Amino acid sequence: MGKGFYLKNLDVEAYRAIKAIAARRGVPVYKVINEALALYVNLYDSLAAETEEEANNRVYESLMGDPRYKGKWVAIAKGKLIAVTESWDEAVKALRRFLLREKASHGIVSRVSEEVEEVEILGSSLEML
């Protein structure tokens, strides 16, 4: 028999709903609770990815007013400026090198200008780089 633990202060209505789901599926309550916890962890990871996207956008916006970066291509991931280059290809190569060292769920490769002209490489595409 596995080790267990007790949860205090559970919402009665939520627990009843979980018991009803378990009964309909014909599985023990703990399995439904384990599935719910796993779904919550995945949702939390998704929210963290949105936070990473916001951090990347914040970095990009901070570069827009700086004359040192105007007309240059930049690569941004994990809320960091990774590279400043003369071409899109160089920026993508820099992002690829970064992704070999660190995992990222969102990245930006863009030419810095006064108007937003960004090319976003989103999560599934980042894994292909």
Give the tens place of pLDDT for each residue, 101-118. 998 888 999 999 866 555
Residue extents of the structural domains in the chain = 12-128
Give the tens place of pLDDT for each residue, 44-94. 777 666 688 889 999 999 998 888 999 999 999 999 999 999 999 999 999
Tokens of 49: 């990815």
* pLDDT value of position 44: 77
- Please give the angle made by the CA atoms of 95, 119 and 122, to the nearest 5 degrees: 65
Distances, alpha carbon 93 to alpha carbons 12, 26, 99, in Å = 54, 52, 10
Is pLDDT of 123 > 60? no
Is pLDDT of 36 > 70? yes
The backbone torsions φ and ψ at residue 5, rounded to the nearest 5 degrees and listed phi first, read -155, 165
